[in-house]
Amino acid sequence: MALLAVVVLFVLRCSSTLIAEEPPRTSKSTYEVLSSNGANTTDTTYGFVACVFAMLLYGSNFVPVKTIDAGDGLFFQWVSCSAVWIVGLVADILFHPSRAHPAAMLGGAIWATGNITAVPVVKFIGLGLGVLIWGSSGLLFGWASSRYGWFGLHPEEVSKPILNYCGAGLCLLSAIIFFFVKSDVQKPQSTESMPLLIDDRRLNSESASPSDSWVDTISPRSKRVFGCILAIFAGVLYGCSFVPIFYIKIHATANSSMFTGSSQNEIDYCFAHYSGIFLMSTVYFVAYCAAMKNRPRIYPRAILPGFLSGLMWGLATYAWLLANFYLSAVITFPIINAGYGLVAALWGSVVFKEIKGLGNLLMFALASCVVLAGSLLTAYSKI
For residues 28, 29, 34, 38, the Cα torsion angle rounded to the nearest 10 degrees is -20
Mean pLDDT over 267-280 rounds to 90
Whether residue 175 has pLDDT greater than 50? yes
Q: Look up residue 356 and give its DSSP letter.
A: -
pLDDT over 50 (residue 151): yes
* Greater pLDDT, 6 or 362: 362
Report the range of poorest mean pLDDT among 13-17, 234-238, 301-305, 367-371: 13-17
Q: How far is residue 300's CA from residue 316's CA, in Å, rounded to a whole number?
A: 25
pLDDT at 75 over 60: yes
pLDDT at 206 over 70: no
Residue 344 has pLDDT above 50, yes or no: yes
pLDDT of residue 3: 44
196-206 burial, b for 16+ CB within 10 Å, e for fewer?
eebeeeeeeee
Distances, alpha carbon 222 to alpha carbons 115, 136, 186, in Å = 20, 22, 15
pTM value is 0.75
Reply yes or no on whether the pLDDT at 173 is more than 90. Answer: no
3-state secondary structure string across 304-340: HHHHHHHHHHHHHHHHHHHHHHHCCHHHHHHHHHHHH
Lowest mean pLDDT across 13-22, 184-193, 268-277: 13-22
CA dist 346 and 367 (Å) reads 13
State how far the alpha carbon of 109 is from the alpha carbons of 113, 147, 178, 280, in Å: 6, 24, 28, 5
Note the pLDDT tens digit of each residue in 119-142. 888 888 887 778 778 777 887 787
Rounded to whole angstroms, what are the CA distances from 217 to 71, 77, 152, 297? 11, 20, 42, 15
Decide if pLDDT at 245 tops 60.
Answer: yes
Count Cβ atoms within 10 A of the Cβ of residue 365 and give its class: 0-12 exposed, 13-18 middle, 19 or more buried. Answer: middle
Give the per-residue pLDDT at 33.
Answer: 40
Residue 90 CB neighbour total at 10 angstroms: 13
Out of 72-81, 153-162, 294-303, which region has the weakest mean confidence (pLDDT)? 153-162
pLDDT digits 0-9 by tens, 25-44: 444 444 444 444 555 778 77
Highest mean pLDDT among 1-10, 29-38, 185-194: 185-194
Judged by average pLDDT, the poorest of 34-38, 106-110, 335-339, 356-360 is 34-38
Per-residue pLDDT band at 79 (split at 50, 70, 90): very high
